[in-house]
Amino acid sequence: MRNSLFALILMVAPLAAWASGGEGPELEHADIDLKDKASLQRGAKYFVNYCMGCHSLKYSRYNRVAEDIGITDAQTRKFLIFGDQKPGDLMTNSLRPEDGEKWFGTQIPDLTLVTRWREPDWIYTYLKSFYVDDSRPYGVNNLVFPDVGMPHVLAGLQGVQEAIYKGGEHHEGAAAHITGLKLVEPGTLTVEEYDNMARDITNFLTYVGEPIRLERKRLGVYVLLFLGLMFYLTYSLKKEYWKDIH
């Protein structure tokens, strides 16, 4: 009885947290399109230029990515590879784990599978949700990832955002009291341009998390058609065998 009660509490606890607002801010829809190769190409370029200094894609290879998103070997070497790596190499960087812990307080995660354990809408909203917070080591915080340990590397492009608090009162470090964000210092991109950039990065990371996703869906159609045909043939055969039995 006691074990059953404990199990029930474990099942109900997440629901209680959700009901009390523990699910975090509402996520914006990324509206990604894995068939849009131009978007994937831009996302790859943005990632290697702005993100890959810290974050790796250790389960992806440059040449596989290049083939899938439609760029040549020469373009791969020119736009994606910086250093002595080769197209057949994994997309890693030279940052040592101990340096990541020293500079950011934790190991920096590899992002190959980030959209598998974080949905694309989360990534898209995260890229748009940095705001000024002087209490943090790098002077910024994030609505969907409170107490984030990384700087806002895209701040020069997006600009500087400040939090809007309930009742206009500042609540130090309390993301639950934030009702929105406002741009107080424009970046080099317009709001629409930055949104498109965040969408391209999200699109690319979604592809990286499952490169065979489009092929899987295409094959899935044929599998369902095959199963449907087999069901029809099996049912017809059953009727033929049993037609004289009443």
Is residue 13 domain-resident?
A: no
Instruction: Note the pLDDT tens digit of each residue in 117-152.
Output: 999 999 999 999 999 999 999 999 999 999 998 999
| Containing structural domain, residue 170 | 20-211
Q: Are both 147 and 246 inside the same structural domain?
A: no
Is residue 2 domain-resident?
A: no
Is residue 184 domain-resident?
A: yes
Confidence grade of residue 10 (pLDDT, cut at 50, 70, 90): very low
Instruction: Note the pLDDT tens digit of each residue in 38-85.
Output: 999 999 999 999 999 899 999 999 999 999 999 999 999 999 998 888
Q: At what angle do helices 62-69 and 37-46 cross, to 10 degrees?
A: 150
- What pTM does this model have? 0.80
Domain count, the chain: 2
Tokens linked to 62: 């440059």
245 vs 141: CA distance, rounded Å: 74
Is residue 15 domain-resident?
A: no
Instruction: Note the pLDDT tens digit of each residue in 150-207.
Output: 999 999 999 999 999 876 655 554 566 788 899 999 999 999 999 999 999 999 999 9
Mark residue 139 as left, alpha or beta (left: phi above 0; alpha: psi -120 to 50; beta: remaining). left
129 vs 27: CA distance, rounded Å: 10
**∠ CA 88-92-93 to the nearest 5 degrees?**
130
Is residue 143 domain-resident?
A: yes
Under 8 Å between Cβ of 145 and 170:
no
Is residue 11 domain-resident?
A: no
Q: Are both 113 and 167 inside the same structural domain?
A: yes
Is residue 146 domain-resident?
A: yes
Under 8 Å between Cβ of 154 and 50:
yes
Q: Are both 119 and 140 inside the same structural domain?
A: yes
